[in-house]
Structures are given as structure tokens and as C-alpha cells.
Amino acid sequence: MFDILLPEQSEFPLYQQLYLQIREGIRNGDIPDGQRLPSVRALQLQLNVSKTPIETAYQMLTSEGYVISKPRSGLYVINPYKELSHHHQQQTPSITTMSVMHSNGHLNQDQGVIDFNPTRLDQASFPVRTWNKMLKEALEQHVSEMGMYGDPQGEYGLRTVVSEYLRNSRGVISTPDQIVIGAGTAYSMGLLTRVLPELKHIAVEEPGYSLVRDQFHLNGCDLLPITLSDKGISLDQLESSHAQLVYVTPSHQFPTGSIMPYPERERLLEWANTRNAYIIEDDYDGEFRYQGKPIPSLQGLDHNGRVIYAGTFSKVLTPTLRMNYLVLPPALLNHISHKRQEVFFAPSRVEQWAMTAFFEQGHWYRHIRKVRNLYRKRHHQLIELIEAYLGRFVEITGQNSGLHIQLIVKKEVSSEELIQRAANVGVIVYDLRKMWMNHQQDANQFPRLYMGFASLNAADMEKGIRLLQKAWNMD
């Protein structure tokens, strides 16, 4: 147990005070890696507050990767840089321990550390001036609405342009009425548990996106991990399970990068139709494909209203803009139309107005073309560097789309040791272990690591790969 002392007066809301205190405790080592956090009920009794701010703080911590949910056990601290943040450490600092930490917990690349972070984007490509212009115009053009609450489902203008964009780019068939604008993936997954309260048995990919899995767990769902093949989620296992809903990332499975072929998509849709079940299709980086033609979205192939489509602006524009969208089947939307005010909570109206103008004036499409070309170039550069310096010692998979690759290292060594060797020479790579519910590496299986490329220029990538060649003895 750890102590939380809330000030009598604070400029921050209660949930943010809790979030900040726990986050700082994790960062500085007061709350050690692996410690179980108190349950919502226990913390509620300790602090004598309602459970809502505690649940909100816990959701923020899970969404940022500071804690992980273990089914039927609770929330546990997960700090991949525990040796960097623990203030009691006495040994001589390595290159990683001397590096400065960003506010999001990642190492500051300006200090000489090369971070192949799978979630980070190129910060220089964000159109700062254009976005500032959109915000200014939004305030000026909507001044008469500043004293009013907006549509809890999202501004109709934004839903209209999103519906049109999805139809043209991903083959998603929808009307603006089916679009729900949300404040991030964690919000949207929590919303779906309220929209579908009777569906408690949820199948998830193993490994899969831990943020989504944790949200389901926090909302009392029974999680059924389904293993993966090179064609995505195992449909044999899914069909033999008692799942009522399945969460999949078919266009670029996270984290392995596999793509679900067309026949498997048809079979998955048939499963949902036969079982009267639902599919959540998370198309989190569907804009980035480097080989072949994109396979149509599951939602576009669905003729029975069984697919809930989820997408985000984060991978194209910036993760700091907490805005995403869902496309709900018409019957499901009708089912909850009488309680929209209780279910939906849209993000800032000003940012929604700005995003609408960003679409309508063509900036979104120009920006996509720009970053798609940039990331395609960096994707090819990283693969060429790996083949040149690491060659026969590794195998690259999951490289057809997205912003990261999976690297199979053909050495009799654990992923932990490879990560540590890399850190010793100032390079950060990932095994994304928290993406597994039940991680058990086969003794005969080579370690798998994950490397992002969106935030690195060619010089840093080459330096990083050459350092890995040395650290992993692949000369």
C-alpha cells in the first residue's frame, strides 16, 4: 500500500490530482515496478471520495502505459525504465540513466539515445501554423455558440466529413448519424461496454493492444485471449469459444503486423452473423500501407450490421490531440438513441470545429500525402539498414504497413538481454511484453522485438542499427 495525500485546496480536479500523484510515484520509484495498485473500492474507502475520479485516474494511467490490468487480479505498475527512475539506485549511471526523461516517460532523444519507439511520430511534420489558423477561425466563426453545449455524439459537421473520408479511403459505408466522435481509444472502448452491457465475453488478440484489453477488464468484462497466426486471429479458436464480441486489428495487427486476408475476413463476418455477435475493427493506422493494394475494411464487407469500426486522428496528425471516432451499426445506434446524453461525451467543440475546417479546406488530405511519403521512405530505409548490418541474423515481419516492424532475432538469447545490450550502447528497442495476457516464450522460439521508424531520420536510424550490430555481436 502507498500513501496518497490530497491537498485541501487545489486548482486541479480530483481525478487529475490522483493521476499525477500515482504517476509521479511510479516515475521516481516510490511505487515500484510490479506493485499491485489498491482496488477502486479500497482507495475509495481510504480517501473517502466517490469512485468516479479514481476510475478516471486509473483509466488515464492504463492508457499511458503506467499500469497494466491482469484479469481477475487487478492493476499492476509496469515501468519499463524502472532502473532509470528509481531514485535509490547507487551504481554508476549508464548512458540510459544519464538521459533526460520526457513528460510521457520516454527517453529524450536529444541526449544521444536513439529510441525506436513504435508509437512516436515525426514531430516536425505536424502543421503547427495551419492548425493554429484552424483554431483561430473556429473561435471567430463560432463565437455565437460559445455559451452552448454541443452534440454529445460529436459536431455534425465533423461527423459528415469523417463519414465521407472513410467511404473514399477505407470503403467504410456510413452516414454522419452513425459516427461517434470520442476523446481517445480508452474512452471509446469504455463507451462500447456501456452501449453493449450484456456482452461480457470478449475475445481479444494474443498478443494484442493492452490499452483496449485493460479498458474491457476495468469495465467487468471476461477476456478470452485468442492466439494469432500469420493470417491474424485464430478463427478456429474463436469459433470454439463462447465469445459474444471480438476485438481485432485486421489491417495491421498490433503488435505483430500481420494482415488478415480477404477469405478470413469473410469467415470472421460469418461467425459474427451466425452467433449474433459483434466485431470491433480497430483500423488504427490504416492510412499507411507500403506494399500491394489495401484490403477493404471489414465494415465495408459487412451486410448485416455486425461490425463496429474504430479509427483515430492520432497516427496521421498527432497523439496529443485526443480525438477519435467510432462507426456504429444503425441498429445499435437506434438501440441507444434515447440515452445519448448519458452515453456520449464528445471532446472539445473548438477542436472539433478546427478539425472540420482542416478537412474541408483540404489540409487533412495534403498532410496525409506528406506523412505517407515521409514514412514510406523511412520504412524502406530502416529495412535496408537492417538487411545491410544485421542480415542473416534477423528476420523482418509485419513490414507491409503501419509505423513499426517486428524483428525476429536468430540468436539463443532472451529478448530482455537483447534489450539491455541495446540500452547499454544507447539504443532503445521493445519486446512489448505487456501486449500479452499470458506471455510464455517457447524455449525453441527466437526472441521478437519491435522497432518504430516514424520519428527517426536516416542518420539516426543508421547509427542505431550499427550500434545494435555491435551490441548483439552480429559483425
Q: Are residues 373 and 343 in the same domain?
A: no
The CATH number linked to 235 is 3.40.640.10
**Percent helix / strand / coil, the chain, rounded to 5:** 45, 15, 40
| Residue that terminates a domain, selected from 297, 332, 361 | 361
Q: Are residues 356 and 375 in the same domain?
A: no
Indicate the pTM of the whole model: 0.74
Q: Are residues 355 and 385 in the same domain?
A: no
Percentage of the chain exceeding pLDDT 70:
88
The answer to the question of residue 29 being in a domain is yes
Q: How would you classify residue 405: left for phi > 0, otherwise alpha for psi between -120 and 50, otherwise beta?
A: beta
Position 105 confidence tier, pLDDT thresholds 50, 70, 90:
very low
The answer to the question of residue 96 being in a domain is no
User: Would you say the C-alpha torsion 284, 285, 286, 292 has a positive or negative sign?
Assistant: negative
Higher pLDDT, 461 or 69: 461
Which residues, in sequence order, are bridge partners of residue 92? none
Which pLDDT tens digit goes with each residue over 22-46? 888 887 777 888 888 988 888 888 8
Helix (DSSP H) and strand (DSSP E) numbers for the chain: 17, 15
Domain count, the chain: 3
What mean pLDDT is reported for the chain? 84
Check residue 467 and give its pLDDT.
95
In the structure grid, which three cell numbers stand for residue 238, read together? 474463436
Q: Are residues 392 and 326 in the same domain?
A: no
| Residue that terminates a domain, selected from 361, 389, 418 | 361
Sheet (strand 232-233) strand order: 179-182, 324-327, 307-312, 278-282, 245-248, 201-206, 222-229, 232-233
**Which of 100-109, 431-440, 454-463 is least confident?**
100-109
User: Would you say the C-alpha torsion 215, 219, 225, 230 has a positive or negative sign?
Assistant: negative
Q: Are residues 382 and 280 in the same domain?
A: no
Check residue 439 and give its pLDDT.
67
> Which residue, among 191, 217, 162, 183, has the nearest Cα to 339 in the 3D structure?
191
Q: Are residues 356 and 374 in the same domain?
A: no
Q: Are residues 176 and 206 in the same domain?
A: yes
The answer to the question of residue 98 being in a domain is no
Q: Are residues 354 and 378 in the same domain?
A: no
Find the domain containing 384 and state its range.
109-121+366-471
The CATH number linked to 396 is 3.90.1150.10
The identity of residue 1, as a single letter, is M
The answer to the question of residue 397 being in a domain is yes
The answer to the question of residue 22 being in a domain is yes
The answer to the question of residue 73 being in a domain is yes
Position 13 confidence tier, pLDDT thresholds 50, 70, 90:
confident
The CATH number linked to 55 is 1.10.10.10
Residue 438 pLDDT > 50, yes or no? yes
Cis peptide before 294 (omega within 30 of 0): no
| Residue that terminates a domain, selected from 314, 339, 361 | 361
Q: Are residues 212 and 354 in the same domain?
A: yes
Q: Are residues 33 and 133 in the same domain?
A: no
**3-class SS at 400?**
coil
Q: Are residues 152 and 297 in the same domain?
A: yes
The answer to the question of residue 99 being in a domain is no
pLDDT (mean) for 89-111? 35
- Gap between the Cα atoms of 17 and 8, Å rounded: 11
**Which of 8-17, 86-95, 437-446 is least confident?**
86-95
For 126-172, the three-class secondary structure string (H helix, E strand, C coil) is CCHHHHHHHHHHHHHHCHHHCCCCCCCCCCHHHHHHHHHHHHHHHCC
- Gap between the Cα atoms of 213 and 94, Å rounded: 34
Q: Are residues 344 and 308 in the same domain?
A: yes
The answer to the question of residue 5 being in a domain is no
Check residue 207 and give its pLDDT.
87
